[in-house]
Structure 1
């Protein structure tokens, strides 16, 4: 499917746009291609855009001083990714967004997003609802870490995103769950 059709279907699940409005919206997106392992955002970067995933998989992660990786998000097709703290508050990036696989994305600059939100009430509504859903998902993940042991988090992830296990290397799933690769193997055997 073409990039414009993928984005259009994604937007139309939440808002209504005429063909002319969508064409105008789409004209503000820039298609980009990235290779597996390529960084889109690195710590210290100025962040002025977000990325809608057309194909492939991205990951957002933080690396602490002990070089331990904490995965914040996997972004598969029809998901968005950026360093939202840096984007929102015009700060330097503190996380990395890179490619788990080769990826095709649509890039929307912060300025263009604000322009489109000012001009089209529906587009502003889309981003408000998307932000609310993202907040709820982050809240659920935090509660899962507080309430579930590793086995519970593993089962929850399997249930919620079964496609991740075919797409993402196991060491990254372990980092997402906050466990070692060995613990993940044990969880799989017990699950």
Structure 2
């Protein structure tokens, strides 16, 4: 598990063995079963999570009970309610497990400590945040400007392995289409 985290970090910044040992000491592990919640709406969010194994979804349930999926996270991806985590406010989204999951947990305090003490880790998280902002902007623009077929094709192009793991109802929700519309879509 630690070697996977080291590889993940070193895609962006190199670390000495001693630095990585210190970084990894700031994480704890968590295992959850399929359908268990990682974060529930209105709860406090003190941690960020790196997915070692499994698949999760982050979503908001509107007043009519409709689920709006914001993000999926599979191996090598980060997930939390970033608004609640950064602002120390109650969660506005829920995160639950689509599959059994193994996670590495990094508390807000430990992340701050790491970023203050290791420039390379501050740089790592800055770059990861920037990539996340770009992905979010692209997702919003796709929802605003592209038809369902184009949204499906883009998701298929970027994450074919993710599509194979998702139930059709969740995929339809993420793309903003009905299950019936999804069944008519096909990849290029």
Q: Same fold (TM over 0.5)?
A: yes
Hey, what does 1:39 align to over in structure 2? 37
Q: Does 2:16 match 1:18?
A: yes
Q: How far did 1:23 drift?
A: 0.2
RMSD: 0.9
Hey, what does 1:155 align to over in structure 2? 153
Q: Deviations over 1:151-187 (max 9, x none)?
A: 1101111111101222111100001001111110011
Hey, what does 2:143 align to over in structure 1? 145
SS in 2 for 1:163: helix
CA distance in 1, matches of 2:85, 2:136: 17
Hey, what does 1:124 align to over in structure 2? 122
Q: Which runs of 5+ in 2 are unaligned?
A: none
TM-score, scaled relative to structure 2: 0.98
Hey, what does 1:83 align to over in structure 2? 81
Q: How far did 1:124 drift?
A: 0.4
TM-score, scaled relative to structure 1: 0.96
Hey, what does 1:135 align to over in structure 2? 133
Q: Which runs of 5+ in 1 are unaligned?
A: none
CA distance in 1, matches of 2:58, 2:40: 10
CA distance in 2, matches of 1:47, 1:53: 17
SS in 1 for 2:45: coil
| Segment of structure 1 superposing worse, 95-104 or 161-170 | 161-170
Aligned residues: 188
CA distance in 2, matches of 1:107, 1:118: 18
- Structure 1 residue aligned with 2:67, among 66, 69, 73? 69
Hey, what does 2:179 align to over in structure 1? 181
- Structure 1 residue aligned with 2:109, among 104, 108, 111? 111
Q: Which runs of 4+ in 1 moved over 6 A?
A: none
